[in-house]
Structure 1
Amino acid sequence: MSETLPIHVNRDGLHHIDVAQSFEADDSFTIALKNHGAPIHAHLHLDDNLSEVASLSATNHYVKADDTRHVTVTVRDAPASGKLKIVTGYGAETAYVDVEIHERDEQKDSIPVDESLSKPQRTRSPEPKPSSSALMKNLPLVLLGLFALVLAFGAGLVVDGGVALFGALVVLVGLGVAAYFLLQ
């Protein structure tokens, strides 16, 4: 069944309404107010039978020129039937649509499940560990880091300062972090 009820206004003249005689749904649906001319106000109304099982998000709608306005009709219960009233031009034109709301077909909405879904699926193989080629590719960086470490410790011994030794520790921690990310 259709999920959208198209309503054309201003197609054959000012305030003119063009809509199907009947509409069927089995759940909430959308009304598409398509304006083919000048800006217009449209009023939508569900009769008493339909308003017991369905509701409109709003009743009065302004539709800009050559634009489409979508209005949701929320269905709470089924089955039901009744009329949707469409009014334009503050009563200048009126049209009615016979609306049938059917019981929802659970078979149509169901998804068939077979026995294979109950069996465990194969897991993906884990990603390979980094090889020694990754270390060889980054060997110049490793050697440069070791040289910086030796240089920092040497400066700490020559200067005999705690600040230089702290700098050496910072370089050592930086090397450890860099090695971790290189081998990931």
Structure 2
Amino acid sequence: MPLHVAQIAVLLRPLQLVADLAEMQAPVETRTWRFRSFEALLLQHGRIFTAPATEHAADFRGRNGRCYHNAAELSDASGHAYVEGVAGASPFPVGVQHAWCVDRNSQVLEPTWPTDQPRIYFGMPVTAAFRRTVSHPALLHHHEAGRALLRHGLPAGAQVDVGEPVSTMLQ
């Protein structure tokens, strides 16, 4: 099912609102940081992915409620890109924080959620090697490695070139 601009906008609108608020209300000590919020980082580096029904389910299936752990485990075992961001069910995707993997062909490998309905995923794909440098199960959270991403952005070579940049989808 092709994505419509309206579906993408519904998923991204809350991220943009939070990023705008964080920019306006940035504490003085963060004014030199590259990003004032994880939402701004995600909007800069995020890519759109879709997962039609069960076609691209991962062979690995982890426990519910542990998406960051499950995606990290799948990424480590397979070398697939680890992706963190938001995802929602189509046709009205209200995004929730989530983690998953993608293969070289930009196909979602969903290690946590059931794959019985189309979904829209928006996330930042990084290499398995980069993801392993973060000791916490999630990248986009307030721990030292997460704050380093806000201060400096993604290190060179950390992002994987898969998925569709939002700019090309909204043209």
Normalised by the size of structure 1, how large is the TM-score? 0.19
TM-score (norm 2): 0.20
Higher relative strand content: 1
Flag the structure with larger Rg. Answer: 1
